[in-house]
Amino acid sequence: MTDGVTLDLSSKTAVVTGSTQGIGLAIARRLAEAGADVVINGRNEERVAQAVAALGGIAVRGVAGLP
């Protein structure tokens, strides 16, 4: 999907909270596609790992919250 807006976020880091599914994951994907180094955050380590894998090949790392 394209909306006609081009962003160059290379050399930028984006932290997206609640980004293991839904809108947060979609935002993380678009930021990564625009060149940002994206940090995915969630409460569950397994879901964070799944989200990072779903965005495979893009500069993404995950951080899970503590119980």
Per-residue pLDDT tens over the stretch 14-58: 999 888 999 999 999 999 999 998 988 888 889 988 988 888 867
Task: Tell me whether residue 42 is exposed, middle or buried, using C-beta atoms within 10 angstroms of its C-beta: 0 to 12, 13 to 18, 19 or more.
Answer: buried
pLDDT at 8 over 60: yes
pTM recorded for the entire structure: 0.79
Q: How far is CA 32 from CA 9, 15, 49, 59, 62, in A?
A: 8, 11, 16, 6, 13
Can you tell me which residue has the tokens 């989200």?
Answer: 51
